[in-house]
Amino acid sequence: MTGPLSGVATVFRRELATVVRTPGYGVLAAGLLLVVVGLLAAGGGGATGFVPAVVDLLLPTEVLVPLVAVVLGYRALLSDAESGELAVIRTYPVRVGEYVVGVLLARTVALVAVVGVPYALVGGVVWLTAAPDTGIFATHTGVDSPVLFVRFLALVLLLGAAYVSLAAAVSALAASRRSAIALGVLALVAGVLGGDLALLRSLAAGASPTTIPEALALTPNGAFRGLVFEHVIGVAFAPEGEFVATGRAVAALVVWSLLGAVVSGAALAYGRRVDAVIEEIRSGFGG
């Protein structure tokens, strides 16, 4: 007999084992490490400290991390549905919510490994090799510090978690691997570019620039970028300013994560019913 936590834990273990046994994810992590190291070497920021390194990495991270997260999540819920195993799992006393949470948690742990480890390694290299003394743990603004890089890493993982969750929602909505890829790419492009384009459009339409900090916080990328400026880059180089509404930005990233989970659960729980209703309507027109 199992309780909800036991159901989540059982699904989590299976999903994590699947991730661990997928060699592609190791390759993905190694590839990400190479790219990040390459970016730092090309930008030169890593040689001078954490904040310059973050400046070098910020923009590429806004593309790389969502990309990795989508790769980790775009088939997370589709694979069981596609193979028919989900129909088997649903004959067991595990609710859709438990199943989704178990899968998402495992994929998020995978994200921590695939994204977190390369970024942490890069942070370690900066700590060891940067020319100025980067061993100071900042207690006030204006000082570069490993703490700032740790903050950056935490924000990177928060951004990644939001995209993993959204990618899982895509996988729950998709009918096939091909449609999952198409929807995943669409979500990626919309997430990476959509928010900024919408912001630019609203400014062009006459919106006040003073609304930027609040508007920026609404999208995952905007919230992430704003938080990095506010709590990493801004801390070292400028008095604390209003790059973004912090609470709103953090809440936005959490809400995007929850939204993905809720959409995933709803798609799995009600997808068959919706399909049947559509069939009923179709039959009605046909008859």
Partner 1 sequence: MPDGPVATLSGVTRTYGGVPVLESVSIGFEPGVTAVVGPNGSGKSTLLRVLVGATEPTAGEVTLPGATGPKPLGYLPQRVPFREGFTARETLAFYARLVGDDPDAALKRVGLGDAGDRRVEALSGGMRRLLGIAQSVLGDPSLVALDEPASGLDPGMRERAFRAAAERADADTAVVVCSHALDLVDEHADRVVLLRRGEIAVAGPLDRLLDEHGAADARELYRVVVGETSAPARDEGDGDGSDGSGSDGDETEPAVHVTGVSDR
H/E stretch holding 240: none
**91 in contact with partner 1 (CB under 8 A):** yes
**10 in contact with partner 1 (CB under 8 A):** yes
Candidates 92-100, 163-171, 229-237, 248-256; binding stretch for partner 1 (CB under 8 A): 92-100
**24 in contact with partner 1 (CB under 8 A):** no
**87 in contact with partner 1 (CB under 8 A):** yes
Please tell me the count of residues contacting partner 1 according to CB under 8 A: 34
Instruction: Give the tokens for residue 33.
Output: 């490490």
Q: Out of 83, 129, 141, 211, which residue is the one contacting partner 1 (CB under 8 A)? A: 83
**177 in contact with partner 1 (CB under 8 A):** no
- Type of residue found at 13: R
**178 in contact with partner 1 (CB under 8 A):** no
Cα–Cα distances in Å, from 185 out to 74, 109, 164, 238?
9, 22, 13, 37
Per-residue contact flags (x/-) with partner 1 for residues 250 to 269, judged by CB under 8 A = --------------------
Cα–Cα distances in Å, from 69 out to 157, 187, 208, 262?
10, 11, 33, 18
Say if CB 182 and CB 86 are below 8 A apart: no
Q: Out of 205, 206, 239, 273, which residue is the one contacting partner 1 (CB under 8 A)? A: 273
b/e code 102-124 from CB counts within 10 Å (16+ = b): bbbbbbbbbbebbbbebbeebbe
Q: Out of 14, 95, 177, 248, which residue is the one contacting partner 1 (CB under 8 A)? A: 14
Say if CB 110 and CB 99 are below 8 A apart: no
State in angstroms the smallest separation of the CB of 172 from partner 1: 16
Per-residue contact flags (x/-) with partner 1 for residues 142 to 161, judged by CB under 8 A = --------------------
State in angstroms the smallest separation of the CB of 77 from partner 1: 14
Report how far apart the first and last C-alpha atoms of the chain are (Å, whole number).
47
Q: At what angle do helices 177-189 and 146-173 cross, to 10 degrees?
A: 140
State in angstroms the smallest separation of the CB of 260 from partner 1: 23
Q: At what angle do helices 50-73 and 23-43 cross, to 10 degrees?
A: 150
- Type of residue found at 235: V
Q: Compute how many other C-beta atoms are within 10 angstroms of the C-beta atom of residue 146.
A: 18
φ/ψ of residue 176, rounded to 5: -155, 170
**90 in contact with partner 1 (CB under 8 A):** yes
State in angstroms the smallest separation of the CB of 182 from partner 1: 20
CB nearer partner 1, residue 21 or residue 140: 21
Q: Out of 24, 84, 209, 247, which residue is the one contacting partner 1 (CB under 8 A)? A: 84
State in angstroms the smallest separation of the CB of 88 from partner 1: 6
Name the residues that contact partner 1, by CB under 8 A.
1-2, 6-7, 10, 13-14, 17-18, 21-22, 79-80, 83-85, 87-94, 272-273, 275-276, 279-280, 282-283, 285-286
